[in-house]
Amino acid sequence: MWVKGRGQGTGRKSVHLYQPGNSMMHHLHPFVKLFLVISFSISVIFIQSTLLLFIVDCFIIIFMKRTGVSFISTLKLFRWIFMLIASIVFIDIFLGFWIPHSGEVMFHIWSPYLPIHRQSLYYAARSALWVICFSSWATMLLRTTSPGDFVTGLVEAGFPYKAAITVLIALRYIPLVQVEMESISMAQELRGSLASKGRGVRHLYRVLKDRVSTFLVIIFRQGLHMAISLEKRGFGLKKTRSSVRSIGFKPRDTHVLMVSLVCLAFLVLYSSGFLPIPMLPPVSSIFLPTG
């Protein structure tokens, strides 16, 4: 299982996300799983209703529970992404302070000079719900698919094996960077070089400087190690790749693919207003009625 733990006698942390299981998601073809991740992540962009986005996220969380993937562990795994989204939400909400617009003011914070606009709340909630949708699907793909099956399945589906390896590296890159960042941050705290306590703008600047510089160093270092490893293995010398084990499409994969296509078409057509179904009311009109 891909968990954070001690390495094989090295004391280093390893990132192993694959978790063997017997759920339906484990037995799906890797191409079908990748299609679900990409298609649902793109389709939610067309969804304008935050209430519908929230309902979709609830269904995804229930599906994660059925596959044995913990939603709490997903939040912990992608918590630095959610920290970034929280900062984006903060900027979206308070953007009305500096950019005057005719958006409706929902309420004020502390004083009449700090208005919170309906449009700012809408974009903030929509961004957060979209990230939850994408990170949840990506986590299910990583937790239910072994790296070897993933590459083999994409190659069988007609993908060039270079593209399959590239997609696999991209999906595993974020957890690798996350664990390395935690290790370096812990080492900085033990040395006393990380500003762990304090308040004020100066403290915030020090924390951001340490985090951003650490993040950039990790990205370049991991990229260099990955490039050296691929070069030593002669990656890309041959255009084809053989595999001992064949996965193959099963009737279950075809059924899931067809059902997902129907669901995606419904979401896109409903959000675009092409279906004769009443649109869901805005969340603000339910919890923050105006008038």
pLDDT per residue as tens, the chain (291 positions) = 344 443 333 344 444 467 788 888 888 888 888 888 888 888 888 787 888 888 888 888 888 888 877 777 666 666 666 666 666 666 665 655 555 554 666 666 666 666 666 676 777 778 778 878 887 888 888 888 887 788 888 888 888 888 877 777 776 666 666 677 777 777 777 777 655 555 656 666 776 676 777 777 777 887 788 788 878 877 777 766 666 677 878 888 899 889 888 888 888 888 777 888 887 766 555 445 444
Q: Is residue 171 part of a domain?
A: no
User: Are 30 and 140 spatial neighbours (Cβ–Cβ below 8 Å)?
Assistant: no
DSSP, collapsed to helix, strand or coil, labels residue 14 as: strand
Q: Is residue 27 part of a domain?
A: yes
Q: What pTM was estimated for this model as a whole?
A: 0.62
Q: Is residue 281 part of a domain?
A: no
* Structural domain harbouring 124: 19-145
* Beta-carbon-side half-sphere exposure of residue 83 (alpha carbons within 13 Å): 8
Calpha distance 237→275 (Å, rounded): 51
Structural domain total, the chain: 1
Q: Is residue 97 part of a domain?
A: yes
Q: Is residue 63 part of a domain?
A: yes
Calpha distance 159→153 (Å, rounded): 9
Q: Is residue 226 part of a domain?
A: no
